[in-house]
Chains A and B, each alone.
Chain A
Amino acid sequence: MAVVSMIVNGREVSAEVEGRTLLVEVLREGLGLTGTHVGCDTSQCGACIVHVDGAPVKACAMFALEAEGHTVTTIEGIAGADGALSPVQAAFKEHHGLQCGFCTPGMVMAAEALLKENPKPTEHEVREYLEGNICRCTGYHNIVKAILAASGQAVSAPV
């Protein structure tokens, strides 16, 4: 066993882990942050995306010990301290960017990373950025619409 220390959602945390423990395992099982989902566990679906030092990472494809000394943000760290939804989260709600909700944490984390890098993406850029996020309910249209709306661009009203 070894100890990993990192900053998660602004809080310094330490946890005892094995070499093989994945970042997503320590987040969910060690720290109880179950908002980060495990979908495929083969680094394809993107449900487990978190930010490490501000960049998107599939938490099922990174060892916990690789996060030593780094800053991790999960979906629980996106809303304001008072619970106010971020513009991306609010837009997902407004534009029905989810159905079953399983992929949503990863979608929101990917969208947050995109808008930080590219504040006014085109629809094509949004779709391209979501290549690593799989949703089996929505057909993606309302997810893309929500992200464009969150970027302050005009989209058609929700139906």
Chain B
Amino acid sequence: MYDFEFVRPTSLEAAIAALAEEDAQALGGGQTLIPSLKARLAMPSVLVSLAGIAEMTGVCRDDEGRVCIGGATTHAVVAREAAAHFPALAALAGQIGDPAVRTRGTIGGSLANNDPSACYPPAALGTGAEIITNRRSIGADDFFQGMFATALDEGEIITEVRFPVAEKAAYVKFAQPASRFALVGVFAARMPDGVRVAVTGASEDGVFRWTEAEEALSREWSPEALTGLAPGSDGMIGDLHASPEYRAHLVGVVTRRAVEAAG
């Protein structure tokens, strides 16, 4: 790993100032970034840890009933503290990686990285969450822009994520057994303003909404409404773990399981 200067600001303002340095990089929990640095895939001059910023951690409810999670909040804390507010979201956080990864990994880090197999992107897209940065608010539909690509600009960090609470929702992950990442994961939600189905792990474009399933579930919220339905395999990821055809098939199966789990 190349060396860098490590700074741990205790306020958002100080973090933004530190990130203005040339080649500065924000560090959430480091569960993806540290292995990437070891592989010399990045060479930041300054690493700005966001872990010491109290205003960026914690789980609460806002006036509109949304569950608001600070960008530097770890998966373990979300799994524990969001359980009473939004059980499906808490359950999703409790399935990420393994217990030690959940101690360190953060929601802001996961969303900013937008790994095509990560768990948080489908939760944000599947609820129509609002992603708050130090500069603006971005709707989930505009935030995700393809594999490892987001609407975030240089020096922009996720300070908070606001999730509208679903009437019914579940996340089901078909885990790749070695990495624990989703081979296919589906967040299916009946929101007050309509059905949303978001899929991770499957597409070469990263997380996406499966609109065909959303339409079928809008007519009837039941696993049976999806009988025979699966997306096409064009544009699905093919690797040594699964072919595009297998992933497309799994999207249908896992979505039915998610609707069944949501009740």
Contact = CB atoms under 8 A, between A and B. Distances in A.
Contacts of B5: 19
Interface of A, helix, strand, loop or mixed by DSSP? mixed
A66 interface: yes
B114 to A, nearest CB: 19
Given A61-B30, A61-B31, A129 B8 contact: no
Contact of A2 (B2, B6, B98, B103): B6
A56 B103 CA distance: 7
Contacts, number: 78
B104 interface: yes
B104 A42 contact: no
A43 B103 contact: no
Contact of B47 (A19, A55, A68): A19
Contacts of A66: 8, 30, 49, 51
Contacts of A58: 100-101, 104
The 10 closest A-B pairs by CB, nearest first: A132-B98, A19-B6, A55-B103, A131-B98, A56-B100, A65-B6, A19-B4, A20-B1, A58-B100, A20-B3
Given A56-B100, A131-B98, 11 more contacts: A19-B5, A43-B31, A43-B35, A56-B99, A57-B104, A61-B31, A62-B104, A63-B6, A63-B47, A66-B8, A129-B99
Interface of A: 2, 18-20, 22, 41-44, 46, 49, 52, 55-58, 61-63, 65-66, 68, 110, 113-114, 129, 131-133
Interface of B: 1-6, 8, 30-31, 34-35, 37-38, 47, 49, 51, 76, 97-101, 103-104, 178-180
